[in-house]
A and B are shown apart, each in its own frame.
Chain A
């Protein structure tokens, strides 16, 4: 089974494979943040910190214990989720901009602490051995990306998801309706962090070298941009945003020097002309129905 999959993966162009794996990881990360910022409306600017926790715990478990990859990824996600609860308890009582700065500060603290710990090899970073599994990493990434989309769709349509939406729309009204807002916010935070941890674990094994400085403020903002570009709270939008922003550097390769310049200007114009993101306010299901019904006519 593993050999066969390896052979199939071996036939794919390495460049395409690399981009598609990057997209898969980005989708997992961005959907996690979408749950926190898009669905619950809590601006988090420290998503990369959860990714960092997942990446380092995944890498260290593989190095020290060599445990099976599935378990490794699961623990990486759980560690991040645990951190999400720890940071969520005190901070989620704060609202809006106070929350944003606390999450940002938390991410900065995690980065500095990891830069000073022996187990994370300080500023030198860790070389990550290949995962302990027969199945190629790409298959894992794609499978988990699809699974994340499915779980997110289920969450969006569940009682839990509706509670989160209610908190986003009006926290006071939600509380009056009997929703324990702090509890739900912490739950959203830890679920989002869980997926960030999984994304981080996959990223660590895919890139094979991680450094605490990789997960700095810029990374958090990158993930936030994916969610915002696609449309806050929209799952198809987030998937599109993650895919676009991951592939954009490849398209803009011919002007790599000016890439970030274009990127910055693009964000400003996007916000002015499409403030809700590409898919914001678009009902994806209706859109699909419309396209298909046109074809049949």
Chain B
């Protein structure tokens, strides 16, 4: 029972972590809560579903194309809605993000309709096997595998490549990085590329896992992923991974203990209690206020 729920929780948590990474990266660099991020995740799921249904495409190929689509979408959103507001107050940019979020979810509603749609049954072979007392399905392994691969790639890009170095520099000090010759616009656009494609991957995985893709799936997933990012310490990439996994596991255990009607409140209750004791989150750095 325990191990079974742990496996389920980690699977759910990995998808939260994938979305939370996008929030935390964007926040780390331009201090914006990108509220349209949940909608990008939803769009990713829909694009993949469309490709699978219309062209009988392989799920993996569809996922990669959906990631590419969302990368472009993310950069486009940044260019239209956030870049003109970079110099204005943070609240304006935040409201703009809410506008984009409303726009995208309504667009999805108009294009794809109000009812949830599922991936065809044969799109990914489901095999069940047991290790000890826990029963895995091949879907869960797919989620672990894809998430782990994507997160390791992200770690590699951020820690080992030149653009990753530029991202880290920008998140530490925006103006100084610009003075040192970092192309800020490129770094921000690249951040959106990374974040949005991870969200798209998360959307496709969740779409296959729960066999449901709907126009409003981005809202709650986005809010919970944001909670995960804050829990891990917003701006911290490893924190977002940890926060996502943690929230997923706690949510699944909460449901298993019989609090299923409180499902959506669990993540937020944990977040609030946690923030009271450690206001910067799990791995967040304490920022000294200077006068």
Contact = CB atoms under 8 A, between A and B. Distances in A.
Interface residues of B, number: 46
B89 interface: yes
Contacts of B261: 112, 115-116
B282 to A, nearest CB: 13
Residue of B106, B227, B267 most packed against chain A (CB within 10 A): B106
Interface residues of A, number: 44
Interface of chain A, main secondary structure: helix
A217 B81 contact: no
Contacts of B267: 105
A112 B271 contact: no
A109 B275 contact: no
Interface stretch (B68-76, B92-100, B196-204): B92-100
A102 B81 CA distance: 25
B180 interface: no
A284 interface: no
Interface string B250-287: 00000000000111110111011001100100000000
Nearest to B268: A105
Interface string B235-254: 00000000000000000000
A275 B262 contact: no
Interface in A84-105: 90-91, 93-94, 97-98, 100-102, 104-105
Contact of A217 (B80, B88, B223, B265): B223
B43 to A, nearest CB: 14
Contact of A43 (B27, B91, B106): B91
Nearest to B267: A105
Contacts of B264: 108, 112
Contacts of B262: 112-113, 116
16 contacts: A37-B91, A90-B276, A91-B275, A97-B33, A98-B279, A101-B227, A105-B271, A109-B265, A112-B262, A260-B102, A260-B106, A261-B103, A265-B103, A267-B99, A268-B103, A275-B88
Interface of A: 37, 43, 90-91, 93-94, 97-98, 100-102, 104-106, 108-109, 111-113, 115-116, 172-173, 176, 217, 221, 224-225, 228, 232, 257-258, 260-261, 263-268, 271-272, 275-276
